[in-house]
Amino acid sequence: MINRVTILVMDSVGIGELPDSEKFGDVGVNTLGNISKEMGGINLPNLVNLGLGNIDKIEGVKKSLKPIGSFGKSKETSNGKDTTTGHWEIAGLYIEEPFKTYPNGFPEHIISKFEERTGRKILCNKPASGTEIIERLGKEHMETGNPIVYTSADSVFQIAAHEDVIPLDELYEMCRIAREILMGEDQVARVIARPFIGSPGSFTRTPNRRDYSLDPFGKTVLDKAIEGGYEVIAVGKIVDIFNGKGISKDVHTKSNMDGVDKTIEFLKKDSKGIIFTNLVDFDAKFGHRRNVKGYKEALEELDSRIPEILESLKDDDMLIVTADHGNDPTYKGTDHTREYIPILVYGKNIKAGVNLGTRETFADIAATISDILNIEKPQYGKSFKDLII
């Protein structure tokens, strides 16, 4: 009997291009495979032991002769390769219409409303890489007090500000104002607070980032779990991605390892339902920064914590290790990449060595969880419970 499912999202750890990746500008992308190739291998003994290398046509990791978990991969059906789309699909939604993006910056009517309501003029208003843009405009921002507003290939309105220039409370309030403006016709998927500290030449972003999402477009497996009397615990930015919907308890994290620590703390306590963790460093610190070595080391760091996670699982626990999109650090540009995601499933009462094959949608994860917890299924997804129990 499984009473609790933990979903561990390794943010951006894709495992190869999808049949439709080219439409997203992505050819030959493979986050895990290309990292391993460029670094001359990657050492992930514990993920390999779970079955990572046994996934059909995966590259860059060794096969295990006797994996202790079951394994598969999934296509993304939604039209997007962003975090919101990926997580919402994992939770049982299908996003047909891609979220609106602003490759030329935000139009005048948005910016003027924002400036009027916040009482501050803005800098930038272009797509940019977050670390580069604070290097370039941070000094001017400190001198003028004007926040740096930028976007990316994703549907995001990001506000970067020095914590000593615009206090966090004010920055968060500015984000709430932007969130109100960016609805309806001008709906963006996320407004993001990007606070930083330091001096010109050595600025660093702080963990006080906050994401202001939209409400999910339909009921997710998280909502259904709560309706079914279960508890849903969100670790990391999950609470932001779902705008608090379908979540009973949440905790933000400072880093991947803090995310692992907090997940283990919750695993050790008694609860029934879902623990949903996002480990964002892979994406934010290494994928977007095209830092191949850093990405490899972060993967190895997570791998070294896997035994501890497995030891914390109770008999009625099930663990799913997966991802939300790719972010191949060897690829051109600084954006996400459209890729298959891995699915590793483990539990003391879950079958080992089963190949779940290639799933058509990330929503199969939601369907399987609903089936296992015996709650109403979300609209999309096909359960693979019968293969693993």
Binding annotation for Mn(2+): 11, 283, 288, 324-325, 336
Q: Which residues bind ligand R1P (CB under 6 A)?
A: 83, 129-130, 152, 154, 156, 158, 192, 194, 284, 288
The C-alpha atoms of residue 249 and residue 44 are separated, in whole angstroms, by: 31
Residue 8 β-bridge partners? 277, 321
Quick one: which segment of 6-14, 108-116, 214-222, 355-363 binds Mn ion (CB under 5 A)? 6-14
Does residue 170 sit in helix, strand or coil? helix
Find which of Mn ion, ligand R1P, none residue 129 binds, CB within 5 to 8 Å per kind.
ligand R1P
First to last CA, the chain: 9
Nearer to ligand R1P, 130 or 195 (CB): 130
| Pairwise CA distance, residues 162 & 194, whole Å | 9
DSSP string, 270-321: ---EEEEEEE-HIIIIIITTT-HHHHHHHHHHHHHHHHHHHHH--TTEEEEE
25 by Cβ neighbours in 10 Å (0-12 / 13-18 / 19+) ranks as middle
* By CB under 5 A, residue 328 contacts Mn ion: no
> By C-beta, is 89 or 283 nearer to Mn ion?
283
Selection from Mn ion, ligand R1P, none that 11 binds (CB < 5 to 8 A by kind) is: Mn ion
Site for Mn ion (CB under 5 A): which residue of 83, 84, 85, 220?
Answer: 83
Measured from the Cβ of residue 338, the count of other Cβ atoms closer than 10 Å reads 24
Piece of 63-71, 233-241, 276-284, 308-316 that binds Mn ion (CB under 5 A): 276-284
Smallest gap from Cβ 196 to ligand R1P, in A, equals: 10
* Window 30-49: residues binding Mn ion (CB under 5 A): none
Pairing state between β 190-197 and 210-213: antiparallel
6 binds, among ligand R1P, Mn ion, none (CB under 5 to 8 A by kind): none
Interface residues toward Mn ion, by CB under 5 A:
11, 83, 283, 324
